[in-house]
Structure formats: structure tokens, C-alpha cells
Amino acid sequence: AAAAGAFAGIFQATKKLFLKERADRGQTLEFVRRNAANGLSVANLVAGLSSVLCSLNREYQHSCWLLLVGFLLDLADGAVARQLDACSALGAKLDDFADFTTFGLATALLLQPRGVLDGLLAIAYALAVFTRLCFFSSGIPFTYRGLPCPYASSLLASTFLLTGGNVTLLRVTAIVMILFMVDRGFYPHDKVLESQLWKKAVYAGGLVAVLFAPATVASGYCLAWVTSYIIFPFAIWSCNT
């Protein structure tokens, strides 16, 4: 009887331990699910801050690479949040803050402001991104009002890399991107990772190009990608699934 009681006690203790581990595992998985998108937003934020530091140290090519990485992270962030049903007010604020840091401040520093006019252009670019993020709500599902700032940033970074840092051309391009961002024309939500297979292939190609391809190939690929969205948004990138 004593042996049976001891065995029963061991069984109950093992059962409780197993159930506790199972509950802990479930809580961990739930935490990961809820914060996966936030983790990508933080990674985007870190890329933006690193890009700022690179620009302040005049390492503009490194800054451009970080902006392209931020562009890919931003596309993945939204897809992960929607697929895991983990959208939240905190996540939206974190994403906007990361976007402003990376695609606003860090991108504006690529313009290399040296004088008053250059500084005003950099400020205007950052304010255009701020306006686009905070005040342009389309009210139409899967549609943006104004050009999304990650595309403008990626275009500037790609242009910088392809032209060897031609600041004059970059500033002219920045002015055009400001006009696109503050314009209230509609752009489709491309949903690259949640749409047709060819869009996922485009994203995968961009990821491989940015991580492994030479600078010319990677920047040319990203420039063609974002230009096609900017010039032919609905003809090519409408959100058909």
C-alpha cells in the first residue's frame, strides 16, 4: 500500500510538472505570436538608427544598404502581423515610429545637408514622411493615400548606390518623392507576401539581391521594383489575391 501511495504521488507530481511545462510552452508560443511583428518593427527601427549613425559618419553607402534592409523588414512586418492576427495599437505606433526613423530621418540624411537650403530640403522630406504617416488615412481597405514612404526611401537609396552618390540627382529625386508622398492620389496596398506567387518571388529576389548580390545588381533590382510600383501602381501592383 505504501509503495502504491508513493507511486501515485510520483505520478501526480509528474503530471503537474508536465501540465505546467505545457502551459508555459503555450504562453511562450502566444508571446512569440503576439510580438513577432513587433520584433520586425524593432529590427526596422535598429536599421534606421544604424543608418542615421552611418550617415553622420559619412558612410553613406552603408546607410543605403540599411535603408534597403529596412524596406524589406517593413514589408514583412505588416504581413506577419496580419497572418498571425497580431495587429494592435501598440504595434501600429511602434511600426510608425520605426518607419519615421528609417524612411524619414535616416533617408533625409542621405541628402547630405550642408547649407540652409539643403537643410530645409532634408526637413521638408522628413515632414512629408511625418504627414504621410500621421494624417493620410485613405478610408478604403487595402489602399494607401499618397506614396508609401518605404518606396520613396528605397528609390533614393538605390539611386544613390547606382549613381555613386550623385547628390544633385538625389536631391532632385527627393523633391519628386516629396510631391508623390504629399499628393492625395491613391496607391494600392501591394501585400507582396500575401498575394500572387510572382509578388512573393519579387520579394524573395529582393531579399537575395540585398543580402548576397553585388551593389549594382541589388540597387538596380530594388530600383526597378519600386519604380514599377510608383509609376504603375494599379496596372501591376493592385492587391488581387
The total domain count for the chain is: 1
Query: Which pLDDT score, from 0 to 100, does residue 76 have?
Result: 92
Q: Cell 503555450 sits at which residue?
A: 26
E strands within 62-109? none
CATH code for the domain in which residue 153 is found: 1.20.120
Domain containing 126 equals 1-237
Query: Which pLDDT score, from 0 to 100, does residue 160 have?
Result: 97
Which mean pLDDT values do the consecutive 10-residue runs of the chain (241 residues) have? 56 58 58 74 95 96 96 90 76 90 97 93 97 80 86 97 95 97 89 88 96 94 96 84 49
Q: How far apart are CA 170 and CA 93, in angstroms?
A: 30
Q: How far apart are CA 155 and CA 27, in angstroms?
A: 41
Query: Which pLDDT score, from 0 to 100, does residue 23 have?
Result: 55
Query: Which pLDDT score, from 0 to 100, does residue 173 have?
Result: 97
Query: Which pLDDT score, from 0 to 100, does residue 205 have?
Result: 96
Q: How far apart are CA 63 and CA 53, in angstroms?
A: 8
Distances 99 to 29, 40, 116, 152, 198 between C-alpha atoms, Å: 27, 11, 26, 12, 26
Query: Which pLDDT score, from 0 to 100, does residue 194 have?
Result: 85
143-145 and 186-188 as β-strands: parallel, antiparallel, unpaired?
antiparallel
